[in-house]
Structure 1
Amino acid sequence: MNPVNQQKLEQEHQPQAIAKRLAKLPKRQNISDAILGGIDGCVTTFAIVSGAIGAGFSASVALILGFANLFADGFSMAISNYEANKAQQEFADNIRQTEAEHIKQVPEGEREEIRQIFQRKGFEGDTLENIVQTITQNKALWIETMLIEEHGIQSRPPEAVKAALTTFSAFLVVGAIPLIPFLIPSFDVHQQFLFSTVLAGLMFFFIGMLKSFVFAKPIIYSGFSTLLTGGTAAGLAFLTGYILRELFGI
């Protein structure tokens, strides 16, 4: 490791630095919501455009369909994300209430659950009993421990509104990019579609690169992987539009 990075890492793991970092509530990361919204926005919008051009429709029709889909599907996706996260929050709250009631009604049984949870982690003897005693002395800590260890639920669930807004914003911003060429009247429809294809490809590759930075994946591989996914979806839409045009003589 680079000496500078090693020194920085050691400084970040000094007792005072650790205490300061742990004193802050963990921030909810919305990177996955942004990536999901961006990819789906670009795939969906460009697929609509590809299908329209493949079917032989004019640029104006492709533009209208693209923008209509952009807002409708973006809103639908944001609401779905909101409802999913809201349901997760409500589920976690329900489990908290259930565990609180169990602690009230059968405290010894709940203590035994804590004991076996940490016994499975390798603790035993006096150390195990001290852990059980420490956790069960604090009801809030007791409930949160059960929430995480028994039910596998995050103690701090996602913020539903923030997640939905992030998804919607990413969907609109990235999804609008493939539509830009159709706003340029000096291009004919084939030039507009070609330009749109290039922009969509760049967006797919850029989002893939963004994933690589966030999740420490190889940049080129991640970029091309996302590009392949988006390109395949758009290709299927174009092919579908073309086949239907030929079959029905549109």
Structure 2
Amino acid sequence: MTIELAQPHSPERHHTHRDVSGGWLRPAVFGAMDGLVSNFALIAGVVGAAGAGQAAVLAGFAGLAAGAFSMAAGEYTSVKSQTELMRAEIAVERRELARDPDGEQAELAALYRSRGLDAELAEQVAAGLSADPEQALRVHVREELGVDPDDLPSPYLAAASSFGAFSAGALVPLVPFLFGASGLGVAVVLSVLALFGFGAVVARLTARPWWLGGLRQLGLGVGAATVTYGLGHLLGVTIA
């Protein structure tokens, strides 16, 4: 007689998600690409008009400083305003829960019925969640506003991420001129590698093909620098 042994169950597999709401990725990505592209284009325009030298270094530093502070201030103001608006709407929801808790519970039950729960179960879930006022507030805010009241974006984090990322990106095309470069050649090579590499890294973070992200950023950056170099050259010839 053959005895069949029970097959062991496969271990349960769990998956995790990356943090997509911390408030740092968008300003960091935007800041680094803006710094790299804008300063590369700015330096290219100056070199096209006046040649490499002190003018290129001064333009590069000016572009880095002005852009980094501008980006940080813009991100801080934008995220601060967004957070203040969220807090104001959360306060509205808190007042409604205090004024009419039964009505808010009925609203929550109706929401769960619309999502497929039967009426009795929806009422039980709504009642259970509404027993704790703070828990009820979190649920209503997430369901109605689509935000997590315990994880609102930080304007300080956004500003710091934007400032640091812009500075790092803007430094790439400037470095060769700090060491006495007499033309755009080395700056172009470094900028091209940085554009493609950074685009590839961002694509990997967002689960897209790395080569596609790299080529896209490369095309945008080189296109901007080519246009500004041409304009600078034409302006330099005209003034001369």
- The TM-score range, normalised by the shorter chain, is 0.7 to 0.9
Contact 1:50/1:238 (8 A) holds in 2 = yes
Give the whole-Å Cα distance in 1 for the aligned partners of 2:23 and 2:214: 21
- Corresponding residue number in structure 2 for 1:223: 214
- Corresponding residue number in structure 2 for 1:204: 195
Which deviations, in whole Å up to 9, do the C-alpha atoms of 1:116-147 show, x marking residues without a partner?
32222222222111111112112112222222
Map residues 24-173 of structure 1 onto 2, 5 A cutoff.
Answer: 28=22, 30-155=24-149, 156-173=151-168
Alignment CA distance shift 1:235-1:129 (3 Å): same
Task: Flag as ranges the 4+ runs of structure 1 deviating above 4 A.
Answer: none
Give the whole-Å Cα distance in 2 for the aligned partners of 1:195 and 1:135: 62
Give the whole-Å Cα distance in 1 for the aligned partners of 2:66 and 2:20: 33
**Aligned AA for 2:206?**
F
Alignment CA distance shift 1:222-1:26 (3 Å): closer
Select the structure that is richer in helix. Answer: 1
Give the whole-Å Cα distance in 2 for the aligned partners of 1:146 and 1:233: 46
Give the whole-Å Cα distance in 2 for the aligned partners of 1:29 and 1:68: 27
Give the whole-Å Cα distance in 1 for the aligned partners of 2:222 and 2:20: 36
Contact 2:71/2:163 (8 A) holds in 1 = yes
Contact 1:88/1:157 (8 A) holds in 2 = no
Q: Is 2:236 the partner of 1:245?
A: yes
Alignment CA distance shift 1:71-1:127 (3 Å): same
Give the whole-Å Cα distance in 1 for the aligned partners of 2:190 and 2:69: 23
Give the whole-Å Cα distance in 2 for the aligned partners of 1:244 and 1:135: 67
**Aligned AA for 1:141?**
Q
Alignment TM-score, normalising by the size of structure 1: 0.83
CA RMSD across the alignment: 2.4
Of structures 1 and 2, the larger Rg is shown by 2
Alignment TM-score, normalising by the size of structure 2: 0.86
Indicate the SS of the match to 2:145: coil
How many pairs align? 229
User: Displacement of 1:178 after TM fit?
Assistant: 0.5
**Aligned AA for 2:170?**
G
User: Displacement of 1:200 after TM fit?
Assistant: 0.9
Which deviations, in whole Å up to 9, do the C-alpha atoms of 1:26-46 show, x marking residues without a partner?
983623322111101101111
Give the whole-Å Cα distance in 1 for the aligned partners of 2:167 and 2:20: 28
Give the whole-Å Cα distance in 1 for the aligned partners of 2:109 and 2:63: 54
